[in-house]
Amino acid sequence: MMFNDGKRIGLLRKGGDIGSRSLVIAFQWLSDHWPAGAVWPDDVPRPAPTEPDVAA
């Protein structure tokens, strides 16, 4: 889940907002989960993909 917190969506539905850290996290999640072949909007900078965690 993008925010890993169901309360955040309820807050937004009630007119609340999100902080800049949450926005960065949301953009990163969207970038990492963007469907193959779908076009990312030209006027929205796309974050680089998150490197997979290879810690054993």
- Tell me the mean pLDDT per 10 residues along the chain, length 56: 68 78 86 94 92 71
Side-chain-side CA neighbours of residue 24 (13 Å): 5
Q: Pull the structure tokens for residue 31.
A: 């970038």
Instruction: Give the model's pLDDT for residue 40.
Output: 95
Q: What is the pLDDT of residue 1?
A: 59
Count up the domains in the chain and report the number: 1
**In whole angstroms, what is the distance from residue 27 CA to residue 1 CA?**
12
Range of the domain at 46: 1-56
Query: What are the C-alpha distances in Å from 45 to residues 6, 10, 29?
Result: 26, 27, 14
